[in-house]
Amino acid sequence: MQKPELSMALESAQLSIRTLRSRLDIAFSTIRQASLDSESGRLDAIKLDEFQQVSYELAFVVAELAATSALLAQAEKGDELEAHVALAQWATTLNAAQTRLLPMADECGLGRVELSRTFAQPVLLALLSEFGSSKALAALGEKLCAQELRRLPSVLDSDKEMMRATFERFADEIVAPRAEAIHRQDLDIPDEILIPAAELGCFGTCIPERFGGLQPDDKPDSLSMIVVTEELSRGSLGAAGSLITRPEIAARALLAGGTSAQQEKWLPRLAAGETLCAISITEPNTGSDVASVALRATRTDGGWKLNGAKTWCTFAGRSELLVVLARTEADKTLGYRGLSLLLVEKPACAGHEFTVAQETGGALSGRAIATLGYRGMHSFELSFDEFVVPESALIGGDAGLGRGFYYTMAGFAGGRIQTAARATGVMQAALEKAMSYARERSTFGTPLASYQLTQIKIAKMFATISASRQFSYEVAELMDEGAGQMEASLVKLFSCRAAETVTREAMQIHGGMGYAEEMAVSRYFVDARVLSIFEGAEEVLALKVIARELIEKASVV
C-alpha cells in the first residue's frame, strides 16, 4: 500500500475511534441517568455500584482507544513501517473493544444490534482484513524479526535522545548484570547501582535546577522523567526502574506545599541522591482508600507523636526520609481534610527488618513483605509507637495542616504516568529477549521466528509497546501544560495491563525455558504483575477515577 493509501487508512482508523468514543458517551450518559439520586441530583454510590463491571470494561476501552489514537497520530508523520504498526494496533484494539462491549451493550444503552452495525461498517471490515489478518500480522512480525527492529524511530529531540541513550547504556552495563542476583536472592539494591545512578542525575529528574535537579526552573519537563524511567525499568523494575518514583512524589509534595526552609533543605539532597526517601501512604485496612488513613499524629512538646501502622512502604529500609501521610485531626468525619504530610527522618537500614528506637521511648519498626517479584527495593510493613518528629516535619507548617491529601495527589498523577513508563520499559526488555530467542532457537528444524504464530505474537507485542510509549509521551506534554490528569490515569491503566500480556507472550516464546528462573523473561513476568496494583490499583483507577469522572461529566439522555 502506497503512502497516500496508508494516510487514508490512518485517517479512517482515527475516525472509527472518534465514532466509537461518541458511542461510549451514550453509555456513560445511560449510567449517569440510572445512578442519579432523585432528590440531590448527584450520583448515588449504591446505584453506581450496580454498574461496576460495565464501568470497568468501559474504562479499559477508553484507555485502549486513547493509546491507539496517540500511535495513529504519530504514524501520520512517520514512514510506512510506522503506519503498519499503528494500524496493526488499531485492529487489535477494535477487536478487543468489540469483545468487551457487545456482551454488555444492552445494559448501558448501546444496544447490541446497533453496536454490531458500528463494528460491521464496510470500510472498517476492509481495514481489519488488510491490517489485522493473520497474514498481515505475520508479515509485520517477520519484517521486525528479520531487520532486528527493537522500536520505532525515535520522536525525541537530540537532547532527550542523548539522555535516553545514556540511561540505556547504564541499564545495560550497570543494572542488567546485577538484576538477576538481586531478584533471586532478594538483595538490597547495591551501591554499585545507586552511586552511578545519582551521578547521572537519576534522582533529580523531577526537581528544578535551582535545587540541583534536572528539571528546568521555568517549565516542567515530564518527558525526561519518562525517558529515564523507561530505560531504567528495561534494565530491572525492582533494581532500578522505581528509583525515581519516590523522590518524584516527595519533590512534588514539597513543591506543592513545603515551606521555603523545607524545600531548601530537602530538595537538593533528594536531587543528589544524598538522601534516599520512601513514601508511606497505604495502611493495612485502607488499601487505595487514602481518605480513610488512620495513623495518628498528635501534637506534643516541640513536635508530633506518631502512632499506628503502615504497609507497602517501598524502600523504607534503605531510605533516610519517609514521607508519611497521617491524621492530624482527631475528628474522623473530616475524612481527607484531616490528613497532613510529615517528613520522618531515620537512619538507613540494610536488610529485611529494622527498628529505630528513640531516647524518648518511641520506636519505628519495619519488616519487609515477601513478594512474588519487584525485589530489591523491598516493601515494608511499618509500626509507629510513640515515635516523635519535630514541628518542622510537618510539610507546609501550620498552613499544611489538613492539606496532606492534596499534596499526596500532586505526586500521584506524576506517579501514574511514570508507572506507565515503567511498564513500557519492562515490556521493551521482554520483547528484546523474545525476538532474540526466536531468531536463535529452532524447533523441528525451523527457527521460531519463522513460524506464523511467533511472528504474530511479536507484531502485536511491538505494536502494543509502541502505543504505550507514544501515549505516555503525549500525556507528558499534556501534564506539562497543566492538564492530562485523566490521561495519566488512562495511560497507566492501558500500559500496566499490557505489560502482563506482553511479558506472558515473551515467556511463551521461550517455551519451557521461559519458566526457568535463569531466564530474565521469568523475572519480567512476575515484576509486571505488580504494575496494575501500585500507584492506584487497576479496579480503583478504572471505577473510582476514570469511569466516575466520565459518568459525572456525561449529559443526561
**Of all helices (H) and strands (E), which one includes residue 102?**
none
Instruction: Work out the angle at residue 88's Cα, subtended by the Cα atoms of residues 82 and 93, and round it to the nearest 5 degrees.
Output: 125
- The 8-class DSSP code of residue 348 comes to -
Q: Which residue has the cell 535537579?
A: 213
CA-to-CA separations, 513 to 1, 18, 80, 510, in angstroms, rounded: 39, 43, 35, 6
Q: Which residue has the cell 514521607?
A: 323
**How far apart, in whole angstroms, are the C-alpha atoms of residue 97 and residue 110?**
13
Other Cβ atoms within 10 Å of 109 Cβ, number: 17
CA-to-CA separations, 418 to 131, 224, 237, 278, 485, in angstroms, rounded: 31, 11, 12, 16, 13
- The 8-class DSSP code of residue 394 comes to B
Cell of residue 92, nine digits: 487489535
- Write the CB contacts of 518 (distance below 8 Å, at least 6 apart in sequence): 180
Q: Which residue has the cell 469511569?
A: 547
**How far apart, in whole angstroms, are the C-alpha atoms of residue 296 and residue 328?**
6
Cell of residue 540, nine digits: 480503583
**How far apart, in whole angstroms, are the C-alpha atoms of residue 63 and residue 416?**
13
Q: Which residues are catalytic?
A: 535
CA-to-CA separations, 195 to 173, 190, 277, 536, in angstroms, rounded: 14, 9, 15, 30
* 275 closest CA partner among 215, 232, 318: 318
